[in-house]
Chains A and B, each alone.
Chain A
Amino acid sequence: MEDALLLARAQFGLNIGFHILFPTLTIALAWFLVAFLWKYRRTGDEAWMATYKRWVKIFALTFAMGVVTGIVMSFQFGTNWPGYMNTVGAIAGPLLAYEILTAFFLEATFLGIMLFGMNRVSPGLHIFSALMVAVGTTVSAFWILALNSWMQTPVGHVLDGRQWIAADWWTVIFNPSFPYRLTHMLLASGLTASFAIAGLSAWRLLHAPMDAGATRTLRLAVITAAVLTPVQVFVGDMHGLNTLKHQPAKIAAMEALWHTQRGAPLVLFAIPNEKTRENDYAVELPYGASLILTHEKRGEVKGLAEFAPDHPPVAPVFFAFRVMVGMGVLMLLVSWFTTWRTRRNQPAPKWLLWVLSAFTFSGWVATLAGWIVTEIGRQPWLVHGILRTSQAVGDIGGARLGASLTGYILTYTALLVAYFVVLTHLAASGDEKPLRPGSEAALATAKARG
């Protein structure tokens, strides 16, 4: 039974973790594409159109990855977690249905016009289609995060027989953690797309130093990132305080605090030991956790002991949280430095282009880490306080789960490799479009850089 549960979780986690990568990128990338088209319409500058055409292909590919991996999800809810639908289906079902109805068709249908209809519809209608795609991706995030947030901080439900049903849909949807989680996720998407655009533009500039489109998108993307990163730090802090209020066990696991104490230290590094229920090799900052969480030096922070045995496994949550925060700090430094270094349209030096290229998928790393924090941090609950994960698991045998898990791993590995190959190829290939054709100054700076 334990093994089947673990396999079911591994398989579901792999699928949803692989799937989440692509929407995370497309949600914000769709808005960037609207911006590119808008800029082109306002300025008539061909470089914006070339940029749009390059990125719309990357968008189409990423979107396709999201669609096909998303189909897998619709099959797995019922097979892996039948207890979920049987217990809270009257709440989860409609939210999923609304996502399909209001978002999936909107984005998929207008995507066709956005991708292939530029010469068939008026420019205004084309921008409108791009806008509908962007709205669709964002609305999709709205519904799925409403559901996810309700699973974390459920309110507005009543028991009817053996099933939980909604007493008030408004309360269910706008549950306590929803505003924070939605904002946090949309900003994560913004940062993921910004760093992907900056990284691939940098990659392009390494191959085509004169490309005007890439120069512009790089600057636009790093400025966006430089603005969004501190906002994300602030929102993340608010989200953390919200979690402290509603899911204190998750916070205790994130900070690896085993015992309730006043003036709790911030554990910078440690190896949480589930057996001794202590931290090994801990490096701590005195009063740190209390200051961050209660904004008071001697504030009380609840430890894991208060919640035992119903608290999440500590190590994955603790480490994933540090990866997310560490990534965020690096992203802040890189975006601020690049913004400063490219001020007044100065070209970025070659080493900086390499750094930006290396940060292309930093958003994915941070998002996945954050997702591990929040989802593993919810364990042992599937719906906090209502339904345990172990109660929801189905009776698909270990052999079939194992076989399908192997199949998915092979498929996803192949798809991811192909995705990276095509992405770098798309970013690097094609003619250079210099800023001003034949401009000596541009040529000189490019030579000086190269």
Chain B
Amino acid sequence: MNELLPFIFMVVMGGAVLAYVILDGYDLGVGMLMPAANDEEQSIMVASIGPFWDANETWLVLGIGTLLVAFPQAHGVVLGELYLPVVAMLVGLMFRGVAFEMRIKAQGWHRELWNWLFWAGSFVAAIFQGVMLGRYITGFESGLGYWIFAFVVGASLCGGYVLMGATWLILKTEGEVRRKSIAWARWGLLWVALGVALVSLATPLVSETVRDKWFDFPRTLWIMILPAATLACGWWLWRSTGRLRAGSGSSDSAPFLASVGIFTLSFLGLAYSLYPYVVIDRLTIWEAAAHPSGLRFTLVGVAIVLPFLVGYTIFAYRVFGGKTSGKLYD
């Protein structure tokens, strides 16, 4: 049991981070798309994420909280190494979250300012999350090349969030916003394709550990299912948005599900690259794990609470199912 605990908590942490990236991903993406919309459209866009963003960000707390609780050594190392990108991301998230509430209540140039902060905060948070990821998978190596790599990952993640945001808007809006979102989603997809390709090619080059994982025949053949499935999702997304643009039958939820697929598969690929490390080449999940007595007690809570948590989250999404209306407080 004690040997299994770190593995279970790795799954919990991975699940929380994936949930965060998908859920906050779409609302950060909506934030980044703000400058491309007019005032009325912006209100609809913001209304579409209004009921969810508080809870979406809570997944980040669960992910980081699990890192802290289950792998305290790794929490210190990882977040110590990522100190300044983390601060930048947090400042971005703070301005963005508060701007969300403020812009609804403000008028005139105040509103313009909060709109700008909402956009800028979303952008800063997204790009630095990507930078954190880029630094993390290269084991925090110093050197200009590694930092360029990190910012390429940051730009790719921005593209990914824009894609999530645009497909979310296709799902949640009507009329002009939806029409624009279809175009945004297609641009986002191209951006993501480029980013995923670059990162997938570069990662084995910069990390020997990752290279060994992916080029180990015959296992390589099995693992090629992941990129193949990612390509299939990309193709599905391209085709469904093409059909929606032409007005010929496709479900409004298809593009969103396809981008969830792309994110999930990329995440699994990443998890495969890193396992069993929690800090690549330095700490495995067993080396970094917390004392089993605390983990056992926490696991009881996870087992009891998680079903309820998932249940009422689904309930909330059902309450706000269907298309969003422009008004928030009513």
Contacts and interface: CB of A to CB of B under 8 A. Distances in A.
Given A64-B100, A104-B61, A71 B93 contact: yes
Contact of B76 (A74, A78, A166, A422): A78
Contacts of A419: 98
A70 B64 CA distance: 12
Nearest to B321: A120
Interface of B: 50-52, 54-55, 57-58, 60-62, 64-70, 72-73, 75-76, 79-80, 83-84, 86-87, 90-91, 93-95, 97-98, 100-102, 105-106, 290-291, 293-294, 297-298, 301-302, 305-306, 309, 312-313, 316, 319-320, 328-330
A354 interface: no
B68 A74 contact: yes
Interface in A89-130: 89-91, 93-94, 96-98, 100-102, 104-106, 108-113, 115-121
A100 B62 contact: yes
A119 to B, nearest CB: 6
Contact of A53 (B97, B298, B316, B329): B329
A60 interface: yes
Contacts of B52: 112
Report, nearest first, the 10 A-B pairs whose CB atoms are least far apart. Answer: A112-B51, A90-B294, A78-B75, A93-B69, A85-B72, A82-B76, A90-B291, A108-B55, A68-B97, A108-B54
Given A67-B57, A163-B291, 19 more contacts: A68-B93, A68-B94, A75-B64, A79-B76, A79-B86, A89-B290, A90-B290, A90-B291, A93-B70, A94-B298, A100-B61, A100-B65, A105-B309, A108-B54, A109-B313, A115-B328, A118-B330, A411-B91, A418-B98
Contacts of B66: 97
B294 A400 contact: no
B54 A67 contact: yes
Nearest to A404: B87
Interface string A403-426: 110011001001100110010011
B282 to A, nearest CB: 15
A64 B290 contact: no
A199 to B, nearest CB: 19
Nearest to A414: B95
A116 B294 contact: no
Contacts of B67: 78
A228 interface: no
Given A93-B294, A97-B301, A101-B302, A75 B54 contact: no
B84 A115 contact: no
A106 B100 CA distance: 21
B75 A102 contact: no
B298 A98 contact: yes
Contact of B291 (A57, A70, A160, A411): A160
Nearest to A121: B319
A77 interface: yes
A86 interface: yes
Given A96-B68, A411-B94, A404 B61 contact: no
Nearest to B80: A79
A316 interface: no
Nearest to B330: A119
Nearest to B59: A105
Contacts of B87: 403-404, 407-408
Bin the interface of chain A by size.
Answer: 35 or more
A398 B308 CA distance: 43
A307 interface: no
Interface string A380-407: 0000000000000011100010011001
Q: Is the interface of B mostly helix, strand, loop or mixed?
A: helix
A85 B313 contact: no
Among B67, B83, B306, the one with the most A-chain Cβ atoms within 10 Å of its Cβ is B83
Among A65, A86, A109, A403, the one with the most B-chain Cβ atoms within 10 Å of its Cβ is A109
A102 B80 contact: no
B264 to A, nearest CB: 21
Contact of B101 (A61, A93, A112): A61
B68 A77 contact: yes
Contact of A75 (B86, B301, B330): B86
A92 to B, nearest CB: 8
12 contacts: A68-B97, A78-B67, A82-B76, A89-B69, A89-B290, A89-B291, A105-B312, A111-B55, A115-B51, A166-B293, A169-B297, A407-B91
Contacts of B61: 70-71, 74, 100, 104
Given A94-B69, A116-B320, A102 B98 contact: no
Contacts of B101: 60-61, 64, 422
Contacts of B50: 112, 115-116
A165 interface: yes
Contacts of A104: 58, 61-62
Contacts of B79: 75, 78-79
Nearest to B64: A74
Contact of B312 (A70, A91, A109, A165): A109
A168 to B, nearest CB: 11
A102 B101 CA distance: 25
Contact of B54 (A64, A72, A426): A64
B290 A93 contact: yes
Given A86-B73, A105-B55, A69 B302 contact: no
B108 to A, nearest CB: 12
A74 B64 CA distance: 7
Nearest to B79: A79
A63 interface: yes
Contacts of A72: 90, 94
Interface in A44-84: 53, 56-57, 60-61, 63-65, 67-72, 74-75, 77-79, 82
A110 B312 contact: yes
Among A71, A100, A102, A395, the one with the most B-chain Cβ atoms within 10 Å of its Cβ is A100
Given A72-B94, A94-B297, A101-B305, A108 B72 contact: no
